[in-house]
């Protein structure tokens, strides 16, 4: 399990606290420093079952500068949105948890974090 976070984000800190409280094994990715490539964004979108505009923070200054609210939201514009997310990672909704079962969730609520936790691989049992 991996969680994409911005440490300054209260929802990210809450998600980490819940993962820790549940004893989850996860990797933290500070996605503003370790910026996801376009291919990684495509993979996360596939895992989320969402379109790039569904995970875009349109109220950010960069979104306003780019005029994202005016961009088309269709298949023809998909790659343009993905390129914008890769170039301006602050636009990516957070936190994102990639679950062990190959899915992902935007974990902005406790329920979403618990959903990701429910998708964990069960611990392997050690034979006696």
> Is the pLDDT assigned to residue 125 strictly greater than 90?
no
Mean pLDDT calculated for residue range 58-84: 96
**Is the full-model pTM beyond 0.85?**
yes
The residues carrying an active-site annotation are 9
Q: What does the pLDDT read at residue 70?
A: 95
Q: What is the mean pLDDT of the chain?
A: 93
Mean pLDDT calculated for residue range 57-77: 96
Tell me which H or E stretch contains 57: none
Compute the distance between CA of residue 106 and CA of residue 2 in angstroms, rounded to an integer: 12
Mean pLDDT calculated for residue range 61-84: 96
> Is the pLDDT assigned to residue 3 strictly greater than 60?
yes
Peptide bond into 24 cis (omega under 30): no
């Amino acid at each position: 399990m991996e969680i994409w976070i911005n440490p300054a984000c209260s929802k990210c800190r809450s998600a980490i606290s819940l993962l820790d409280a549940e004893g989850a094994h996860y990797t933290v990715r500070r996605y503003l420093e370790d910026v996801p490539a376009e291919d990684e964004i495509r993979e996360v979108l596939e895992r989320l079952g969402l379109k790039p505009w569904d995970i875009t923070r349109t109220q950010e200054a960069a979104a306003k500068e780019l005029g994202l609210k005016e961009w088309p939201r269709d298949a023809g514009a998909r790659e343009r949105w993905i390129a914008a997310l890769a170039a301006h990672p602050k636009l990516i909704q957070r936190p994102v948890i990639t679950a062990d079962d190959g899915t992902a969730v935007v974990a902005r609520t406790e329920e979403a974090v618990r959903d990701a936790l429910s998708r964990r691989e069960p611990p392997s049992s050690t034979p006696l």
